[in-house]
Structure 1
Amino acid sequence: MRRQTEINYEMKLLSSLEKVFQDETPVYRPECLVLSALWDETVSFQAAYTGDCFMRERLEVRVVSELEKWVRVRTVEQVPVGRATNVIVDDNYLKTTPGMYPDLLRDLPEDHKVIVCSHQWRSLWVDVEVTEEIPAGDYEIEIQLLKEGEIVCSAKMKLHVVGVTLPKQEIMHTEWMHADCLADYYHVEVFSEEHWQILENFFAEYVKRGGNMMLVPLFTSPLDTAVGLERTTTQLVDVEVKDGQYIFGFDRLKRWIDLCRKYGIEYFEMSHLFSQWGAKYAPKVVATVDGKEEKIFGWHTPAVGEYTNFLHSFLPSLIEKLKEWGIAEHTYFHISDEPREEHLESYRAAKESLGDLLSGFHTFDALSSYEFYRHGLIDKPIPGNNEIEEFLEHGLTDMWTYYCTGQFYEVSNRFMSMPSLRNRIYGVQLYKYDIIGILHWGYNFYNTQFSIEHINPYEVTDAGNAFPAGDPFIVYPGADGHPEESIRMMVHYEALTDLRACKLLESLTSKEHVMELIEGDLAEPLTFRRFPKSDMYLLTLRNRINREIERLTAKA
């Protein structure tokens, strides 16, 4: 039996852009630890820690600061990664192999104790919610680890608060909320009171981190579903077939809209009217027919035919309600997700079957081919950030963009295997190109690819080895029905606050002035494919922007 000698503990401060792997000693980078913030944003940093204990220990975490009431400390938990990347990779990945990766952020237990594993590095994620209650000035935040009431290691972070409020987020931002995945994971009946409460919990967190547009499942979303298979029915619209006529009920849809508005959702996207990858079929629609519930549309139904008659009955009724509820001007419609060029004719047929039913509304879809826009089939194309150059070269303005599993080479994304800078640089890119909307397909997709099986996202992070880990979801389903956030969620939120800060400085100076700060010291212009790979670049840039805002508003 080994005799325990004195244990050595160590703590290092790190920026929010570091990822701490258990078997790698993190590098202390003082150049990345200048932290400043404006009012109405949450800023984050990390405190990594280790010890040479024989087994493991539980130490108490303590925050010492006059900002303590605004500070939240979470542990960064390692999660299993089976598929880390796609087949092709560039030189800007942290790792490309399976293993345990830092991602999940979990609140401290009631006793505020964390586990120290022998000779392994872990980290604490520290958020400071900077509100107007905090006077402008300099503050110190000390993070301590205590054993039996005695401090065994600690570190002090300094924060400079600028007494100016970040402007409201302008960019439209949607992450697809999969209502069926929540019902499936928590084993609750779809749209039961338990389900509604869980949805409300997820909606609140969604808005808190910059989501301001919500996918509305009019009918079960025809997304990532194998042909011939079905996802759990999540249909907000009641349908009855009576004497050959369609009758609609909108009570559940109204409840969904009201819940969105309660938490500040401003924009609404109606779920896709046709199947994914080509718009060849109708989505699953369940109706009451002669007193019995049955599936009246689905994979067995062509996109054009009786389903056309259904839409010509349904859409005018829906639009009437959207106008009655005062959201018509903020509503967008999807036709079919991710059509490719070989689907041009089937997409055209589906779109033309609608006639002028959607006149006055924006239609928008994630797609890669400019041909859909050139043929006038969509007025708001959403190209991937690896394909957006063609659209920009044609002079398109008011552009949207998205990324998912297919955007893995050279461009921004948020896979667990990527450095966090590759996630956060997105905000500066969006600013440069005046992007008006961003989309991601997986806020909480807890299925395998094609929705063949349900998964536990704490155990499977890659949709059953289908996509690089992290692509299918950005929050985890907490045990209490509330979402647990990820490093990727927080860093993506930071990208959005960077964008808001750029917009604020532009309002005080000019676009040219802000772009000089962004590109002035770069050897080549910033693009979606070319951007600095240094954490210091982005952290220093944000501090420069904050200082400029402080200087200019002090003169006012």
Structure 2
Amino acid sequence: MKAFFLLLLGVLPFGILSAQESNRKKGGATAMFVDPLVKVFKYSNDLQEIKPVADVAKGEYASFQFVYRSGTAIKSLSAKITGIKGERGGTISNSMVKFVGYVKQGKYTDKPATDIIRSKDGTFPDPLYEQQSIAVDAGDNQAIWLTVPITAGQQPDLYHGELVVTAVTANGEQQSVKKNFDIKVYPVSVTKQTLWVSNWASFLSPSSVVMKNPQASKMYSDEYWTALKAMADKMNDYRQNVVRIEMLKVITFNKGNNGHYSFNFERLDKMMGLFMQSGIKRFEGDFVAQKMTDWAGPLGFVMPADAGDAVSRKLVTVNDADNNARQFYKEYLVALYNHLKQKNWDDIVFLHVSDEPTQQNPKAYKDMLAFVRSVVPDMKIIEAINQPVPIDVDIQVPLLSYLRYGALPKFEKQRAQNKGELWYYVCVSPQYNYPNRFLENPLIKTRFLHWTNYKYDLTGFMHWGYNIWTGYPFDFSTSNSVGGDAWIVYPKDGKIISSVRLEAMRDGIVDYELLRLLEKKNPALAQQIVNATILDFDKSNTDIGTFRTNRRKILTALSN
């Protein structure tokens, strides 16, 4: 009997999927919940139906993914949550229903992971459209994303909700499907965040903040500040708490007749204040220098050519005695630091010296760092470090793959000596089986970015691309980078909208905080769970069912 039952379990998914496929070919509809960590393609016919239960803490979001597919073209597919009620009488409100959209892939990685997802039609599910309804072609899957905020004051309980999906065909025929889902809210709170998260954003142009009419508006207009505040709020909603500002493009400055510079920080103050109102806690500043030629070449000062609203840039070599770059930076850095000190912001602003200094030419970076330290010795410095050698900065941010090859103990020793912080970053690399946020990766690997933070005691995360849109943002072939690398949000209807990858990142940040809480209560269990999940820098257990079980263990242990 046991053998027959196990055989039945193995055959059951195929039977369910065969019935779904048969129903679709006959023009009927299939509708079911699938795990939100599953990427649902338009053509997917191997989806596994799940019992929709979200196990959550107070202060996070419950997410569900519902898939509707019909053999008949749908003119209008809409969905709504009719109510979420607890068994003790409480309710949950302000839930949102979004539609998963599709983007063109663009480049795949040069060193693909063993579990790479290759799209059959060249598109990947990613953006989350915030609209009332959507049209669906015959035979295509349409994923519907449910987002339910769990407030800090939500009563722990088991809550029951109902989703109603309505499909209207071209000839006006209507069909509605009702499905129930559950949310278990544990007596655990994750309102406080200890992990530092920075996604570099572009916001120094009207189009980058998705102003309603960027052609008719100007930088620093009332409409610009309103749009920037909306962007800041979106960042905060997704637990980003560090923002990089190209400060020399924001402030104004002039060179007087006496040959010295004067600086006006009014716009920078307004910008930082706006971000802080939205919950941003720290800021990254400019790069003092850039590489002059190739990756391993000499460094040059990023020298402003003029002042005013549009500040152009040119590179001036360190050894060029005929320029005033050193004078400018001596005056600018001192003025900036003194201003930050006066505003009590000197502890929350971190300057960059040069992006990704390399092992091939370490002297160029050390010389530039020495210059900055000589001018403003107390200015805090953060650096994305593209070499396995520790550098004396306040926040070291090595590339994740370098930590794997024996560099982690060196960085940890340096951190202990200067009492600095150790983060990590990913970008177009590392590839292969490392966690990253590429479109081609399973979503669970994007979520695992912050399990990696916890595993190796890395207290911050950095990525270069929040909204570095090029060409058409819904087509990653317009980017020179790997699909998913340059941006993780999209512009739509005058707003910035989320993606399934950004949802996974936010959930991963919450997982990090839950593991930190468990570490205080039961460190052995925290290590047991993370070690069974993240096996090495480039090795993890990506089975979704196992992951859900382990996360439930964390919540249960914290509730006892």
Shorter-chain TM-score: what band?
Answer: 0.7 to 0.9
- Post-superposition CA distance 1:144-201 (Å, at most 9, x none): 2225796533322211111332141101111111123554674443333332222111
Sort the Cα spacing of 1:198 and 1:279 in 2 relative to 1 into closer, same or farther, 3 A: farther
Q: 1:177 aligns with which of 186, 196, 201?
A: 201
Partner of 2:352: 334
Determine which of 221, 244, 253 is the counterpart of 1:192.
Answer: 221
Q: Residues 426 and 297 from structure 1, CA distance in 2 versus in 1: closer, same or farther, beyond 3 angstroms?
A: closer
Following TM superposition, by how much is the alpha carbon of 1:279 offset from its aligned partner in structure 2, in angstroms?
Answer: 6.5
Q: Does 1:388 align with 2:403?
A: yes
What residue is the counterpart of 1:131 in the other structure?
A: 151
Residue 174 of structure 1 aligns to a residue whose secondary structure is strand
Judging changes above 3 Å, is the alpha-carbon distance between structure 1 residues 268 and 362 closer, same or farther for their aligned structure 2 residues? same
Q: Tell me the SS of whatever aligns to 2:340.
A: helix
Aligned position for 1:282: 301
Correspondences of 1:505-516 after superposition (within 5 Å): 505-507=518-520, 509-516=521-528
Give the superposed CA RMSD.
Answer: 2.5
Matched, 1:256 2:276: no
Q: Identify which of 104, 107, 129 aligns with 1:80.
A: 104
Alpha-carbon separation, structure 2, partners of 1:26 and 1:142: 25
Q: Is the 8 A contact 1:218 1:236 kept in 2?
A: yes
State how far apart, in whole Å, the 1-side matches of 2:319 and 2:429 are.
Answer: 26
How many aligned residue pairs are there?
506
Alignment of 1:266-281 (within 5 A): 266-276=281-291, 277=295, 280-281=299-300
Mapped partners of 2:92, 2:395: distance in 1: 45
Q: CA deviation at 1:87?
A: 1.9
The one-letter code of the counterpart of 1:202 is: M
> For the residues of structure 2 that align with 1:171 and 1:359, how far apart are their CA atoms?
27
Question: Which residue of the partner structure matches residue 330 of structure 2?
Answer: 312
Q: Is the 8 A contact 2:411 2:422 kept in 1?
A: no
Shift of 1:439: 0.4
- Does residue 211 in structure 1 map to residue 240 in structure 2? yes
Q: Contact 2:26/2:71 (CA < 8 Å) preserved in 1?
A: no
> Deviations along 1:528-550, whole A, 9 cap, x unmatched?
21211211222221111111112
Residue 138 of structure 2 is matched in structure 1 by 118
Deviation at 1:486, TM superposition (A): 0.8
In 2, distance between residues paired with 1:541 and 1:25? Answer: 28
Q: CA deviation at 1:381?
A: 2.4
List runs of 5+ in structure 2 lacking aligned partners. Answer: 1-24, 85-90, 416-420
CA contact (8 A) 1:429 1:526 kept: no
1:30, distance to aligned residue in structure 2 (A): 3.0
User: Does residue 83 of structure 2 align to residue 65 of structure 1?
Assistant: yes
- Counterpart of 2:65? 46
Is contact 1:268-1:332 (8 Å) kept? yes
Counterpart residue number, 1:435: 458
Matches within 5 A, 1:338-417: 338-371=356-389, 373=390, 376-389=391-404, 390-394=406-410, 396=412, 397=415, 398-417=421-440
Q: Percent identity?
A: 20
Distance 1:147 1:316, change over 3 A: closer
8 Å CA contact retained: 2:388, 2:403:
no
- Larger mean CA deviation between 525-534 and 121-130 belongs to 525-534
Q: Which residue matches 1:479?
A: 493
TM-fit CA distance, 1:15: 1.6
Deviates more, 1:179-188 or 1:255-264: 179-188
Q: Distance in 1 between matches of 2:240 and 2:526?
A: 25
Q: Note if contact 1:59-1:146 (Cα within 8 Å) is conserved in structure 2.
A: yes
Q: Is the 8 A contact 2:398 2:423 kept in 1?
A: yes
1:462-489 deviation per Cα after TM superposition (whole angstroms, max 9, x unaligned): 5x35211111011112222x21111111
Q: From 314, 335, 342, give the equivalent of 1:298.
A: 314
* TM-score normalized by the length of structure 2: 0.84
Cα distance in 2, alignment partners of residues 201 and 118 from structure 1 = 37
**How far apart, in 1, do the equivalents of 2:98 and 2:263 lie?**
46
Given that 1:144 and 1:151 are in contact with CA atoms closer than 8 Å, whether structure 2 keeps it comes out as: no
Query: 2:56: which partner in 1?
Result: 37
What is the match of residue 489 of structure 1? 502
1:500 to 488, 496, 513: 513
* CA contact 2:40–2:141 (8 Å) conserved in 1: yes
Structure 2 CA distance, aligned partners of 1:293 and 1:533?
A: 49
Alpha-carbon contact 1:423-1:491 (below 8 Å) kept: yes
Aligned AA for 2:41? Answer: F
Asked if structure 2 preserves the Cα contact closer than 8 Å seen for 1:167 and 1:500, the reply is: no
Question: Structure 1, residues 409-454: CA drift from partner, whole Å, max 9, x if none?
Answer: 111001111110111112222112111111010111023xxxxxxx
Any unmatched runs of 5+ in structure 1?
Answer: 220-234, 448-454, 552-556
Counterpart Cα distance in 2 of 1:468 and 1:294: 31
Counterparts in 2 of 1:355 and 1:533: CA distance versus 1, 3 Å: closer
Mean CA deviation greater in 406-415 or 139-148: 139-148
Give the deviation of 1:34 after TM superposition.
3.9
